[in-house]
Amino acid sequence: MGSFQGPRDWGRLLTALLTPFHADGCVNYSEARRLASYLVDEQKNDGLVVNGTTGESATLTEDEKLKLLEVVLDEVSSRAAVLFGAGTYNTAESIRMAKEGEKRGAHGIMLVNPYYNKPSQEGLYAHFSAVAKETSLPVLLYNIQGRTSVNLETPTLLRLAEIPNIVGVKEASGNVPQMSEVCRLAPHGFRVYSGDDGLTLPLLSLGGHGIVSVAGHVAGKHIKQMIEIFPNNPLKAAEIHHRLSPLFKALFINSNPVPVKYAASLLGFDCERVRLPLVGLTDSEKATVKNAMEGFA
């Protein structure tokens, strides 16, 4: 059993839960439930994020998103944090989804940079602050320029960190100097999570809190060990990081979550299918992922 204590105790290892589909394309809620339990009990995740990029949020309907949240909360909410990805490129819709997530009992809200419409820094501030104002839940910002075409710059983030229920950021910019600056300047207690598995250890060394992971589906217990031993044995943590690095690389050989869905299927989960416009891995890509899985097991 986990040790989840409350809505602000998310832990250090969160995994962005993938969404399994039936052969007809419908969401496989029973498999999502089974996978969620496995990630908490066997892969030692402290929490899960429902409806993130890895969950194929862009092609889920509102009803599917909310039912997934309900299913995952029902399965693991007593022993793990469950965050809900409520962010979209539409502020009003994001507010509505945040309220729906809170109503269903989510332990936190994740808000991605508004994508496609490319707001200014002032627009980002206005968007995030407007959503945070409409929920009492703690909010995790999600900065991923590669998928949104905008970067949440540090001065803007620091302004947002002054809002009481904006308590952390998932930094997936890939910009280590920026991540370092955020760790240095963020207020005490503000949690900086890596959004890239391969940068978890570097971020910990800079004062980061943890990881919102993709690889946590298949290597969570190893990542958890790396995080836990880092303060007292950084060289051993580095050994684990290096052992996992080929897996981290393989899981992004194609667009996320296509590789990790195949990787999790190798563990016996019916979760390989993706929704268009994503398509499955080629045979050579599958071989790369399989080899990486075998390499750390």
Annotated active-site positions, please? 142, 170
Query: How far is CA 28 from each of CA 24, 33, 132, 282, rounded to the nearest angstrom?
Result: 10, 9, 31, 23
Handedness of CA 92, 94, 97, 102 (dihedral sign): negative
3-class state of residue 191 by DSSP: strand
Residue by residue, DSSP assigns 205-268 as HTT--EEEESTHHHHHHHHHHHHHHTTT-HHHHHHHHHHHHHHHHHTTSSSTTHHHHHHHHTTT
In Å, the largest CA–CA distance within the chain is 49
Burial class (CB in 10 A: 0-12, 13-18, 19+), 246: middle
> What is d(CA 89, CA 79) in angstroms, rounded to the nearest whole number?
32
